[in-house]
Structure formats: C-alpha cells, structure tokens
C-alpha cells in the first residue's frame, strides 16, 4: 500500500537532547513537509522540500533541522535549541503542483521529560 | 501575514441537521482550497478540495468558494455523530510556492 510512514508514534525528549523524527513515503511525491500542531491550534509549517537535496524554512524553523538525501525520506531533528518542543508533529507529501492535496502521515507526539 | 481564519467552535448540531463551517482567507493569490477532517489524536484527512468559484458537491459534503469575498465554506448534510471532529480549512500556496496556510480548525459536535 502506498502511503507515508512516521515513526515513532510517541517520543520523549530529555533536556538538552536532540531527537529525530522519521518520515518515509512511497507515493513518489516530489514535495515533502513538516508541520507542528499544538492543542487547539492549526498546523504551522516548519520546513518543506520540493526536490532532493533542497529544502526551505517554513514559518517556525528555529530549533529544527531537516535533510532530504533521498526522495522518499525527510527526517526532522528537534534540537536542544527548541525550548518548547512538546507538540504533535505531522509529515506530509504532495505532487509538485500547488493545486494538489497533501497526504499526511499518522503523526508523532513529542513530549519533554 | 497571510492568514486563514476559522471560528474555533465548538459548533453543535443535532443528528440529521446541516452543519455549516466557514473560513475566510487573506491571500488573494491562493489558487486552491481544501477541507480536512481531523479526529482527536489523528492526522488530517482530505474530504473536499475546491479551485473555482461556486459549489462542489461530493456525497453529503458541499464546498463553496467565493473568491471575491475571500470566503470558503463546507456544508455537511444529514450530519452523523461520526462527523464529530475538527475541520481544518487550508489555502493552497500562491502559484509557484508550496506553502499551504491552515486555519486553526472548527470543532464540530453532532448530538445524537
């Protein structure tokens, strides 16, 4: 089955620790995205990538980093510089055309210990 | 700042009634609009997309777009308790970009 796989489903971060959230898609989509969702809030864009080895900052990129070494993979690292990382993180992908819908992964809930 | 605005709700409707969800957007360059349904703790799932002025119907769902008024709406006919969820409105990126702008969502409660 085609889709987007995020792992882990739940993740806990200790003070000063970097953690990496995984996102893999087998839909052959060119564009991939990372969103953050806080309770009662909409989705805010962290980073997006249109092609391999290229990515752009979204609205809230500070304290996060990404890589896009393969078309199907777009991991997100939450660094120790992100002081309030507790949130629901969603990875998404789409075809390159901007009229196309987003396909979402199942999400990762990140909490601070 | 490009924005998509929604009333956070909750919007409560009785089972079998029509639920009307509304959304306004600030970016006149937005080319496409989407309604996603999100159950608590789950990821959003697309239920409707609309690109042209007017109405678009799909089963019990009707999306309406008015670009002059910068207004998008979603009507859910014959509402069911299983429709209880948060509905997110999103504006597709202005042509040439890939930044979708999401509203904060409207929580819908369908009362049995």
pLDDT of residue A1: 60
Q: Given pLDDT bands bounded at 50, 70 and 90, which one contains residue A68?
A: very high
| Average pLDDT score over residue span A58-72 | 96
The answer, yes or no, to whether residue A108 has pLDDT greater than 60, is yes
Among chain A residues, the shortest Cα distance to B86 is held by A40
Task: For residue A97, give the DSSP letter.
Answer: S
DSSP bridge pairs for A8 = none
Beta carbons of B26 and B2 less than 8 angstroms apart: yes
Contacts of B105 in chain A (CB under 8 A): 42
Mean pLDDT confidence for A27-53: 92
Taking alpha carbons only, the member of B95, B105, B99, B79 closest to residue B13 is: B79
Give the C-alpha separation, B3 to A11, whole Å: 31
pLDDT-wise least confident of A26-30, A93-97, B38-42, B44-48:
A93-97
pLDDT at A97 over 90: no
Q: Give A110's contacts in chain B (Cβ within 8 Å).
A: none
* A28 near B CB under 8 A: no
**CA B83 – CA B85 distance, rounded (Å):** 6
Q: What is the pLDDT of residue B110?
A: 97
Q: How far apart are the first and last CA of chain B?
A: 40
* Chain A interface test: which of B23, B52, B100 (most A C-beta within 10 Å): B100
CB B7 within 8 A of CB B103: no
Nearest to A72 by CA among A98, A100, A97, A49: A49
Query: Per residue of chain B (112 residues), what is the pLDDT tens digit?
Result: 678 999 988 999 999 999 999 999 998 888 889 999 999 989 999 999 999 999 999 999 999 999 999 999 999 999 999 999 999 999 886 655 667 889 999 999 999 9
């Amino acid at each position: 089955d085609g889709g987007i796989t995020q792992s882990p489903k739940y993740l806990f971060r200790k003070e000063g620790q970097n953690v990496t959230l995984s996102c893999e898609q087998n839909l052959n989509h060119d564009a991939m995205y990372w969103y953050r969702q806080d309770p009662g809030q909409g989705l805010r864009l962290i980073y997006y990538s249109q092609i391999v080895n290229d990515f752009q900052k979204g609205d809230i990129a500070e304290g996060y980093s990404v890589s896009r070494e393969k078309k199907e993979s777009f991991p997100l690292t939450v660094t120790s510089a992100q002081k309030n990382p507790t949130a629901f993180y969603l990875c998404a992908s789409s075809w390159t055309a901007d009229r196309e819908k987003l396909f979402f992964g199942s999400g990762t809930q990140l909490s601070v210990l | 700042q490009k924005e998509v605005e929604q009333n956070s709700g909750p919007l409560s409707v009785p089972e079998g009634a029509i639920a009307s969800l509304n959304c306004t957007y600030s970016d006149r360059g937005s080319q496409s609009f989407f309604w996603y349904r999100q159950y608590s703790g789950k990821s959003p799932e697309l239920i409707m997309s609309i690109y042209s002025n007017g109405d678009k119907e799909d089963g019990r769902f009707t999306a309406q777009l008015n670009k002059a008024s910068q207004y998008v709406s979603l009507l859910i006919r014959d509402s069911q308790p299983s429709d209880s969820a948060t509905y997110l409105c999103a504006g597709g990126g202005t042509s040439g970009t890939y930044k979708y702008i999401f509203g904060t969502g409207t929580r819908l409660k369908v009362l049995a």
